[in-house]
A and B are shown apart, each in its own frame.
Chain A
Amino acid sequence: MPSKTYKLLFLLLLLALVLCLAINISLGSVTIPLKDTISSIFGGNIANKSWEYIIWNYRIPKAFTAILVGGGLSISGLLMQTLFRNPLAGPFVLGISSGASLGAALLIMGSAIFSGLFSFSFINDIGLVVAASLGSSLVLLLVITVASKVKDTMALLIIGLMFGSITGAIVSVLSYFSSAEKLQRYMYWSFGSVGDLTWKQVGILFTIISIGIVLSIKSTKALNSFLLGENYAQSLGIAIKKNRYIIIIATGLIAGSITAFAGPIAFVGLAVPHLTRLLFNTTDHKILIPAVFIYGAILLLVCDIVAQIPNSTGILPINAITSIIGAPIVIWLLVKKQKMVF
């Protein structure tokens, strides 16, 4: 495809992103007139001070989080699909999500078991983020250790899934023994949420995801050659092991930090790379990495808009919306387009 077409597509995607961002910010449980929303964003004065507070300290950070989460998950999905040469791979195949869940579950529900050792009376959100990050890094570390022992990437995929099963089992045991109140708290975390992040937390998330994206962009050539298979990639001058580590670390940073801050969000990482390939009709990661990020950001902004609409005072769990939108997309890709090739 000529580069002119790519430029046009990128322009359209960016326009769609700006549009979704504007709609996302102007909607919420409190009705704020569009005029005031816009003037507030561009630094103008608006009549109601609490409106300004809502826009600047709740809606804009939430929209930014949605962009980072959607874009980030999609990039890690792309990396995993290419690395594992499997169209069904997503950011969570390495057990990153289950690791984070385990961390969160241990903190929320395991406090009764460990109460003799630690005092968990202050289970705040920061603690949750730390626990989830620790959990996902720990599982990722285990996977990387195993990765150095196996040469076959498919084996690594299965090992990731097995780690997921083990951590899932531990979470089940914990939930069986925990109180209804704590179980509910854990459930809320697992619903996922792009709200509730302070500017500072958005900053941390942005920094970690940026590092992951820089690593991905630096791996562009390796990713492209992995499409031929690892043996061919090596014959093209790619240091396989090193690049495999870099790609795993990039995924871990992106998906791990997102899961820690926003909970396990399903389907975005799996579906968006396929949708993007359909739109751009290319396998070149030079194009795909930025395209997938923007597409994913748009999709999550849309999901977040949908989550707010039905009941103007409450918000539906984002994880439910992404699944409801994402799963049919995957089925449609498989059945109608037969485009689950990567």
Chain B
Amino acid sequence: MAIGKKTKNGILIKNSIDSKQKHIALKVDTLSIGYQHKKQKTFIAKDINFSLAKGELAAIVGVNGIGKSTLLRTLGNVQAKLSGKILINNRELTSFNPLELATKISVVLTEPIASKNLTVLEIIALGRQPYTNWIGKLTATDKDKINQAMQMIGIANLKTKKCYELSDGQLQKVMIARALAQDTAIILLDEPTSHLDLYHKIHILKLLRSIAHDTHKSILYTTHEINAAIQLCDKMLVLEQNKSTFNTPCNLIKENIFKHLFPSDTITFDSQTGLFKVNK
């Protein structure tokens, strides 16, 4: 802060910009996503911009096929971006080696896990892999984190169950617990609550919210539960054809973003209550 001592105001502004930049965990700049086959690029979404701060819970919403999952998978380095920048702590995503990245970002994907023979404990323990030694021996810290994650999600009683004995909803909780055990600053979840009942849906989302706020993790998830997202998220990214908007739910309502998200003859958005309603 040696420079800019001219006015008190000037210093204040500079400080606030600095501290803001420090707290950005994930920054996305003019990002284009999609698939590349040889030289043929198929764009799914273009020009996505947003910054996710530390300790924020954010949802990605939009109609089917708009690129929610593709965006999340691109941010998680599961698939390659087509152009633009993804910055993790101000460093380009692709410049991390896999192991470094595994301590920064954890993911919960929609794809089923390969082996149905794994037990719940084994799945969650795999979340500690970036931290274990060459043969994967769990230390006391690792075991603590595993137990903590299971307690938080409320699946400690399932511990010894095999994966093929679980319901879809239970499995979803297990995968979320695995991501928590990985203990990363950024957690990306692709439709993490799609198989859960209403109570557990809200329970998990509230849990994610408190984890984000209490442990200063940045959590980003895709969802079709827009009503819940509006009520629980700090920020929302609304993907539309050729356009994306990132803001707090309140501001998004003010900007009338939700009004045109779905065809208005079927569903309308009530900006008074902040809820979508069915037109009968």
Contacts and interface: CB of A to CB of B under 8 A. Distances in A.
Contact of A221 (B76, B127, B129): B129
Interface string A266-293: 0000000000010000111010000000
Interface stretch (B14-22, B106-114, B224-232, B235-243): B106-114
Given A221-B132, A231-B78, A234-B98, A342 B105 contact: no
Interface stretch (A98-106, A236-244, A319-327): A236-244
Contacts of A224: 126, 129, 136
A171 B155 CA distance: 56
B122 A283 contact: yes
Contact of B107 (A85, A220, A232, A283): A232
B132 A283 contact: no
B116 A235 contact: no
A36 B99 CA distance: 58
B134 A85 contact: no
A235 B77 CA distance: 8
Given A286-B136, A341-B115, A341-B117, A228 B123 contact: yes
Given A220-B135, A236-B102, A236-B182, A229 B77 contact: no
A237 B107 CA distance: 12
A259 interface: no
Interface string A214-228: 000110110011111
B247 interface: no
Contacts of B115: 85, 227-228, 283, 341-342
A221 B102 CA distance: 14
B103 interface: yes
B118 interface: yes
Contacts of B113: 227-229, 232
Given A220-B136, A225-B126, A283-B117, A231 B109 contact: yes
Nearest to B133: A221
B118 A227 contact: yes
B130 A236 contact: yes
17 contacts: A85-B114, A221-B129, A224-B136, A227-B113, A227-B114, A228-B115, A228-B123, A231-B111, A235-B106, A236-B126, A236-B182, A237-B100, A237-B101, A238-B129, A283-B119, A284-B122, A342-B115
Interface of A: 85, 217-218, 220-221, 224-229, 231-232, 234-240, 277, 282-284, 286, 341-342
